[in-house]
Amino acid sequence: MTLLLVLACSTTPSRNFRAELLDRYGEPPAPRTDPTPADPALAALTEGCAAKDAASCKHLALAQRDASEPVWSETLWRACELGSGEACSHLAFARLEGKEVPKDPRGALDAWIRGCKAGYDKSCFEAGVAFEEGDAGAADPSRAANLFGKSCLMGFSPACQYLSRFHVQGLGVDPDPEMAGWLACHECELQHQGARPDAGYAPGSAPVCKGLSALKTLGVSAASAEACPVGPP
């Protein structure tokens, strides 16, 4: 049966959807990105890492990896432990794919969860994908939904799209087409707010708004898509 909904994002909704997400998933970690070191020279990065500066360790690790120095993964783990969520994410991808380090899906998930706690929204999203797909054991849609919720609240638009689909299909959450519509609209709204190459859209590109496009495919007919004021062009 096709579900009908009115999409509401910047319009005045009958429900406070963001407040509902906060009530369900809790206040997410404060978003954090690593600053660019003032001096990118290896000597300065090495000194900064020795002084327990997470960003210096991350940039040093990436430089070591580019130079094929085997210690890069240890340096990247140090950066992750010191609180660089981006470093945790880099390490997680390497562990998941087995690139230059032993393939370790469970270790990848652990790194993504650590990165999420450090405030890196993409790590929360990738951990959610791992739980949805069962990359490190049995699939757990409830935990996946929780992580997508945190990532979406932190501003990572693909997480809003994934959580919208969960609310259509009832994966880890009760079916809620109104919430699905708001999440799809919010994904698009976030894309309009600024470029995020790591979220799949680069500077100068038109917003993709995959969530809005996917609603019909998922069995949801957007009867009043124009109610989403930031819909795809």
pLDDT under 50: residue ranges of the chain = 1-8, 10-12, 222-226, 233
Which pLDDT score, from 0 to 100, does residue 164 have?
92
Which pLDDT score, from 0 to 100, does residue 117 have?
94
Q: Residue 203 and residue 20: Cα distance in Å, rounded?
A: 32
Which pLDDT score, from 0 to 100, does residue 73 have?
94
* Integer angstrom CA distances of residue 18 from 1, 9, 144: 27, 10, 18
* Integer angstrom CA distances of residue 167 from 15, 122, 182: 15, 20, 10
pTM for the structure as a whole: 0.85
Which pLDDT score, from 0 to 100, does residue 20 have?
94
